[in-house]
Structure 1
């Protein structure tokens, strides 16, 4: 898939998340099923935070040359990119500050931040062709990824969380 197709896929899935915001009352948006599980608000915040502070940041690091040049993907990373998707499993992240997303954000703020992610993805896509493919940043589970691969992770990550979103909506 080329980067323009990746961007279109991302715009579609992000647009779906934005449109779905209208279906949630403030209470439903913030409701946590249990102490260990996230609310819809936390899920949305997680997607936004990961896009800005991990995936897009890694692309910018590749662009600036602050990267490794000799690393490879892990077996898990190779499998994710071969499939074009994350596996349909729950991934547990640590429950500590920095990992547990905020759940107090209102829907309008979330919508604005989601639109910012879309805008930034459009800006990044225009620059990807100028970033050498041998510039890589290490992902904690997937190994060393170049800028295009980090870009591809954004829609994969959003799509991966659709099952979680549907489960939270059913509560």
Structure 2
């Protein structure tokens, strides 16, 4: 499934949730579906900002990926494990977004991905931006990370849906 079709699938699922279902936190220490959607949108937009930063870079970066980054790209995605972010406010997505806001966010992600799809490979691969865990990534790698991140959250989405008996 292409990255844009995957986002379409997320949008299709979003349509079926009630606002109550979107905001339901099944247990302490977990996110609601709405928080997961909000997280996906914010992270995708951050990754796409880094695609743009690579395109606008004027100097080449000789450094590369960390071992974790090399492994991620060799696999083509994240390991199917839960990743717990530190319990900080900036790591806790909003649980008050309206469905329309989430749709608009997903639309914006798709719009920006379409804008970059045909030109991401024209960016100098040695123009890079630093990812905190994966090292120095070029525009293509940042772009691909959007899809990897959406795919990574499919299991979480399925678990949350099961807890709602969807």
- TM-score, length-scaled by structure 2: 0.92
Secondary structure of 2:95 counterpart: coil
Q: Are 2:58 and 1:50 equivalent residues in the alignment?
A: no
User: Which position in structure 1 is the counterpart of 2:53?
Assistant: 61
Q: Are 2:161 and 1:169 equivalent residues in the alignment?
A: yes
Classify 1:50/1:66 alpha carbon distance in 2 versus 1 (closer, same or farther; 3 Å): farther
| Unpaired stretches in structure 2, ≥5 consecutive residues | none
Secondary structure of 1:47 counterpart: helix
Q: Are 2:147 and 1:139 equivalent residues in the alignment?
A: no
Give the aligned length. Answer: 163
Classify 1:67/1:138 alpha carbon distance in 2 versus 1 (closer, same or farther; 3 Å): farther
Moved over 3 A (4+): none
Secondary structure of 1:16 counterpart: helix
- TM-score, length-scaled by structure 1: 0.90
Distance (Å, rounded) in 2 between the aligned partners of 1:101 and 1:66: 34
* TM-fit CA distance, 1:96: 2.0
* TM-fit CA distance, 1:70: 1.4
| Unpaired stretches in structure 1, ≥5 consecutive residues | 1-7
